[in-house]
A and B are shown apart, each in its own frame.
Chain A
């Protein structure tokens, strides 16, 4: 059980160890190691084989007798998931990308032992044309980023509480418990302008003040880690890379509203995050930053994990609480709001992982520091999971107000394969798209809603000219049909009917009147559904119709899919000039839809064709086209 003095002692003895991991080129005086190797152990890098790289590294370091000089640290996500497995060597800050176990012996011998960076194995963006190596912070991917919520991800070992303490961890909690009143914390949050990062954007300080004002013998602090937006992994990376910051912030929330029990509701699909949270909670209890007498101040707070079971609606606050109570995760009407009557009928606050990840920094650095970042109405930073048709797939954190162009073109490295940027989708199944003509929009809560999209939790999927917007709308609707809990009619039946309409369009069976009916249906679902799932389910349709109406019209009137995605509207045909009459397509066609003699151009019978694509795949001359 630590007291505050003992906490400071750990901080002072270990801070140099961690300080070395920020770009400097010197080894701090009190650091016992000559070099430190950081390997990403996040889900992305694990999947691309970082465990084997790590094993090889331990083996080689031992073989070369470097155990006492080199410290190996398995960290959370660095953000650049598409380059995994990732390895950084400090103090040089050398960034090795797509490392394989075979490369390890050379890196260990030349770099760790002899001190020569293996340039050809570095991430190419960190090596300039003249051969000089630049630090990671100077690369296009990191230059415009500002890491607050992600500050420890990819820097510390998430399974070691002392590493977290060495970065100033649990200092915010100590400050709150010893020198701030409940109201002080709330004032600080209100002044900072922090708004919920889960999608709604409600001011966090106000949420907390409502719960604080309630008189009750039992209150609860909950953390929403049920990151359901498909294509988003911000929360997962924070939990995997820096679990203690969430625990610390929840404890601060407990003190502020007067609660002594917390729950983290986390997706069971995130086994690594669950495991690291379990380890973090156990260590926090052992060190006395959680439990009956926190840091010797007498304050009591405990946190329990609850695993979700794969229901998107449980990201909605009332549904999440119903699920923790052990029921079907169906939402309840509000009011009463959770701050008045939440979990088990008691006053409850629920915040998202990323929101919590900002709290400790606001307490330590002050509200003014935070309020100086971002735009007039949206303060601080936002983490985005950048995915889809983009070169640098990964996790980025930028100040609010950064433009979409900066994120896509500079940080993301643009759309690969020379394709054109068509739109970005934000907010997942509840959000909308931002078309290329609005690429210069500054990203904050207000600007995105004005465009008919939303901030959402931070999924940002880039689409190129090969993506059909009607098909994307259909994709999201299929998701909401599946995930609608069925409690209220507008959502249960509305999503299904809307899906059927969109499906009709993609099959070329819809009429222009259908488009009007769709618009009306969307309006009804929005105004009458019980919870946000149903209220926003039509957004992907409304937003794609707004910006890509011509694509809808092409499907309906001309019965074509301009992007060549909707299978029922496509036809395969032979380009006569290119066809050599080799008969390969004819022999491969499973339904005998192709005819033609040897050495003469072949013909595809559209009525027989089942659009399996085998002819196109087999043609050696690129003579089959699809329109």
Chain B
């Protein structure tokens, strides 16, 4: 396993209260752990150990069980994501149209590998499995925006939009 430095947990009281209220409302539903983890990730953006501990305590299950589920599913992350989340679709339709080259170009441009976050925290890069926009292959998403029919040459222009937004 790669050891990544774990950033300091910066959760607020308000976030914690929101999470606790949600857990209280779901606690008695069968199979509550998944919806709770999804909500927690929505609130905090990731699932640090502090958050997993709250969930384990309130649902009265062991921390190892929470950790087991949190690490099983690709959607859950134990590390914070960048301010802008880039995900490149590596579904079959995109792959046969050269999505791997898009990913390669992004890694080179951002100087990070898949699954990592840039040092300034602006971008994180992930590969995902099919967003279902196969008509536009190859596809990448930045946050909620979908960019279709892209080539490695388009990358620079697209990223610049987000970088200048940041400076402004």
Contacts and interface: CB of A to CB of B under 8 A. Distances in A.
Contacts, number: 133
A358 interface: no
A230 B129 contact: yes
B31 A324 contact: yes
Interface string B119-150: 00000000011111111110100000010100
A385 B33 CA distance: 33
B164 interface: no
Contacts of B32: 326
B161 to A, nearest CB: 16
A326 B73 contact: no
A311 B31 CA distance: 17
B141 to A, nearest CB: 9
Contacts of B15: none
Given A44-B136, A311-B74, A425 B92 contact: yes
A43 interface: yes
B96 interface: yes
B136 A231 contact: no
Interface in A234-275: 236, 268-270
Given A325-B30, A387-B92, A388-B96, A479 B132 contact: no
Interface stretch (A290-298, A447-455, A459-467): A459-467
B127 to A, nearest CB: 9
B157 interface: no
Interface string B155-168: 00000000000000
Interface stretch (A178-186, A302-310, A594-602): A302-310
B68 A328 contact: yes
Nearest to A325: B31
A475 B135 CA distance: 20
Contacts of B136: 44, 47-48, 81-82, 84
Interface in A398-429: 425, 428
Given A47-B146, A268-B75, A344-B30, A232 B38 contact: no
A132 interface: no
B34 interface: yes
Given A325-B30, A393-B93, A306 B35 contact: yes
A28 interface: no
Contacts of B76: 309
A212 to B, nearest CB: 23
Nearest to A82: B135
B132 A236 contact: yes
B129 A461 contact: no
B146 A326 contact: no
B85 interface: no
Interface residues of A, number: 52
Most chain-A Cβ atoms within 10 A of its Cβ — which of B32, B93, B97?
B93
A423 to B, nearest CB: 11
Interface string B32-46: 111101100000000
A472 interface: yes
A393 B91 CA distance: 14
Interface in A456-490: 459, 461, 463, 467, 472, 475-476, 479, 485
A560 interface: no
A479 B129 contact: yes
B38 A312 contact: no
Contact of A328 (B69, B96, B131, B148): B69
A328 B137 CA distance: 31
B137 to A, nearest CB: 7
B73 A311 contact: yes
Contacts of B148: 47-48
Contacts of B35: 306-307
B90 interface: yes
Contacts of B73: 308-311, 329
B95 interface: yes
A47 B35 CA distance: 27
Contact of B96 (A82, A233, A344, A461): A461
Contacts of B135: 44, 48, 80-82, 84, 387, 393-394
Nearest to A425: B92
A387 B38 contact: no
A232 to B, nearest CB: 7
A389 interface: yes
Interface string B52-79: 0000000000000000110011111000
Contacts of A472: 96
Nearest to B131: A269
Nearest to B139: A47
Most chain-B Cβ atoms within 10 A of its Cβ — which of A232, A326, A329?
A326
B34 A306 contact: yes
A44 B133 contact: yes
A228 interface: yes
Contacts of B68: 328
A233 B134 contact: yes
A228 B38 contact: no
A204 interface: no
B134 A81 contact: yes
B21 to A, nearest CB: 19
Interface in B82-103: 90-97
Nearest to A330: B72
A344 B92 CA distance: 34
Contacts of A479: 129
B145 to A, nearest CB: 9
Nearest to A46: B146
Interface in A184-229: 227-229
Most chain-B Cβ atoms within 10 A of its Cβ — which of A80, A229, A230, A327?
A230
B30 A231 contact: no
A47 B133 contact: yes
B91 A230 contact: yes
5 tightest CB-CB pairs across the interface, nearest first?
A81-B135, A230-B91, A387-B93, A231-B92, A309-B73
23 contacts: A43-B131, A44-B132, A44-B133, A47-B146, A48-B136, A81-B134, A84-B136, A228-B129, A230-B91, A231-B94, A269-B132, A307-B34, A307-B38, A308-B73, A308-B75, A310-B129, A325-B30, A326-B33, A328-B69, A459-B92, A461-B93, A476-B92, A479-B129
Interface of B: 30-35, 37-38, 68-69, 72-76, 90-97, 128-137, 139, 146, 148
Given A82-B136, A309-B76, A387-B93, 4 more contacts: A44-B132, A80-B135, A81-B134, A230-B91
